[in-house]
A and B are shown apart, each in its own frame.
Chain A
């Protein structure tokens, strides 16, 4: 019930292309869905996040698409750049109280490589 499944494990994209990473969750009580970006030797950094009451959120080149009925959400990176090469994690959390309050459940991560 607490799992978040992420795909693909790795992704290679040409500069200027669109990178798409997908996540699926099981627990319908999740109410906050962030994406994190992690560079080697660094901690995960919050990239963009969405609540289930909207279907899309865009910040610059990064867009989250959210499908509540399918329990899926995805990250789209437009005009991908070599500097976007990193590991991306989707996550979900339950922020309505209970023993899991505030716990981020992460997907398995996607290693994105953008070739120049």
Chain B
């Protein structure tokens, strides 16, 4: 049983397109996150949600819109994709904010 699962694993698309990444956790956690890992492997938080409420929005362009239909799901929609959006996006969750954060296996986004 995968604790934090995200789909798709790979996403290759053209500039200007809109795409979504889905994330689900079966750990019963209250907090979910999106992190971005760039080509140099640097990890940076984008958003966090606690019980479907946005807690952290780390000055991400508004082309990125997270949506949490329930506390087990946190999806990421990206409009008008740009070359610089190419990265690996990780969904994560934790019971308490910041403690014992569990990561999914990532979605590698390539914008051509």
Does B98 contact A32, Cβ atoms closer than 8 Å? Answer: yes
User: A106 touches which one: B42, B96, B99 (CB < 8 A)?
Assistant: B42
Complex Cα gap A95–B48 (Å) = 14
Compute how far the CA of A46 lies from the CA of B101 in the bound complex, rounded to whole angstroms. 7
The segment from A14-22, A62-70, A97-105 that touches chain B is A97-105
Alpha-carbon separation in the docked complex, A41 to B99 (Å)? 23
Q: Which DSSP category, helix, strand, loop or mixed, fits chain A's interface?
A: strand
- Is A93 on the interface with B (CB-CB < 8 A)? yes
Check A101/B104 contact, CB under 8 A, given A95-B99, A106-B42.
no
Is there an interface contact between B101 and A99, defined as CB atoms closer than 8 Å?
no
Instruction: Report the interface size class on chain A.
Output: 20 to 34
B56 contacts across to A, CB distance below 8 A: 99-103
Q: Is the pair B98, A94 in contact by a Cβ cutoff of 8 Å?
A: yes
Contact indicator A43/B90 (Cβ below 8 Å)? yes
A residues adjacent to B (C-beta < 8 A): 32, 34, 36, 38, 41-46, 49, 87, 89, 93-95, 99-106, 108-109
